[in-house]
């Protein structure tokens, strides 16, 4: 049996193939990496109009019960007690060393939380959440739902046309809506740096929804390739690369996931380590990197100071279509993390000049009001 025959498929698999997608293995699924227009065109179209991404490989679940919020807070550093119903918050699952087991979205809904976790980690995430909340909450894994992301500056106009109830939604809000008569969960969020929505839909109606969205003149299909370049330009972490069990939220420069009350009360895994880093700093930190010239610095590229000493490693890198050149992020010794610090990237044995820059590389355009 070939590797491709072992792969899971999403409810949109047949549609991807009809649209001419190049399918690749990703997190155990056959997924579209690009369509005939190509990654560059898909990326720029997302920045200019709206693109539709299939993210059905991700894990969806409800965590329900009277004690669900308190139980969930024993696993993450976020404050969900103060979060209003219909609001979404990004957070991370932590191990006892303060390392990041996964990043995820958790939405406050009546009676508990709606969770969306990464595809590659979903089985272990759900097992960890279930074990950590046992006897206090019930985890219901949603195996009968697909998930699509409509992303881009025209995404709001498109969805409001099909589902007027979404028109007044703002960034990181959630609503149950009908889209052309299809019952959906819509969260005004995404991972491209653009305005947009992640839409959960019953699996048996996923293709109907996708076709309705793709029929709108502003919308084109886009794959994993452009999704990756879009999130890199937005300075957003990719789990397993930019954040891992070996990195804490403070080292990863996402210290804002440790909300105010949790900084005061602790009570999450690795709290002593993380709160100590907040108070005293870290030896290394994640930074944006702008290489000079045209050669990209890929994941694993060694970072050196100008004297030839190793000071870090690139964790994500490539060409930024909206930037018009190579961009990267990675970890450096904190002494070299200051903006405009000159560094060298060792690419194919040669030292290429670069500098540390603030992220994002492109302006984010979320609808906040």
Tens digits of residue pLDDT in 129-173: 999 999 999 999 999 999 999 999 999 999 999 999 999 999 999
Work out the pLDDT band at 2, boundaries 50, 70, 90: very low
Judge whether 210 and 199 are in contact, CB under 8 Å.
Answer: no
Count how many residues are written for the chain. Answer: 369
Looking at the chain, which runs of residues are DSSP E strands? Answer: 22-26, 29-34, 50-54, 59-64, 88-94, 100-109, 112-117, 138-141, 145-151, 174-179, 182-187, 196-202, 219-221, 284-291, 302-304, 310-320, 325-333, 342-347, 350-357
Q: Is the pTM of this model over 0.85?
A: yes
> Could you give the domains of the chain?
3-56+144-233 (3.30.1360.120), 283-357 (2.40.30.110)
pLDDT tens per residue, range 317-368: 999 999 999 999 999 999 999 999 999 999 999 999 999 999 999 999 999 9
Partnered with residue 333 across adjacent β-strands are 284
pLDDT for position 4: 54
CA pair distance 126, 140, nearest whole angstrom? 9
Query: Any long-range contacts for 123-128 (C-beta under 8 Å, 24+ apart)?
Result: 123/59, 125/59, 125/93, 125/101, 126/59, 126/61, 128/75, 128/93, 128/101
Work out the pLDDT band at 5, boundaries 50, 70, 90: low
């Amino acid at each position: 049996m070939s590797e491709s025959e072992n792969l899971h498929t999403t409810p949109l698999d047949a549609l991807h193939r009809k649209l001419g997608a190049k399918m690749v293995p990703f997190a155990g699924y056959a997924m579209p990496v690009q369509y005939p227009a190509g990654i560059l065109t898909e990326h720029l179209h997302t920045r200019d109009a709206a693109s539709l991404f299939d993210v059905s490989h991700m894990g969806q679940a409800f965590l329900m019960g009277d004690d669900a919020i308190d139980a969930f807070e024993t696993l993450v550093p976020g404050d969900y007690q103060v979060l209003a119903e219909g609001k979404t918050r990004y957070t991370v699952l932590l191990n006892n060393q303060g390392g990041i087991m996964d990043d995820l979205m958790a939405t406050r809904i009546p009676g508990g939380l709606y969770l969306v976790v990464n595809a590659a980690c979903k089985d272990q995430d759900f097992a960890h959440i279930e074990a950590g909340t046992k006897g206090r909450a019930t985890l219901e894994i949603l195996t009968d739902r697909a998930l699509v992301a409509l992303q881009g500056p025209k995404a709001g106009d498109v969805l409001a046309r099909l589902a007027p109830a979404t028109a007044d939604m703002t960034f990181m809000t959630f609503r149950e809506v009908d889209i052309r008569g299809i019952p959906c969960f819509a969260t005004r969020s995404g991972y491209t740096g653009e305005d947009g929505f992640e839409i959960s839909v019953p699996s048996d109606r996923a293709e109907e929804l996708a076709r309705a969205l793709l029929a709108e003149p502003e919308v084109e299909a886009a794959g994993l390739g452009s999704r990756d370049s879009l999130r890199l330009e937005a300075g957003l972490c990719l789990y397993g690369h930019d954040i891992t069990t070996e990195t804490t939220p403070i080292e990863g420069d996402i210290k804002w996931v440790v909300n105010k009350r949790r900084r005061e009360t602790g009570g999450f895994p690795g709290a002593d380590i993380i709160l100590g880093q907040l108070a005293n700093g870290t030896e290394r930190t994640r930074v944006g990197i702008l290489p000079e010239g045209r050669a990209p610095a890929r994941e694993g590229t060694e970072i050196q100071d100008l004297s030839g000493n190793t000071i870090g490693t690139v964790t994500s890198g490539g060409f930024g279509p909206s930037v018009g050149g190579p961009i990267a992020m990675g970890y450096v010794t904190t002494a070299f993390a200051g903006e405009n610090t000159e560094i060298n990237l060792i690419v194919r044995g040669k030292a290429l000049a670069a500098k540390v820059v603030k992220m994002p590389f492109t302006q984010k355009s979320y609808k906040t009001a």
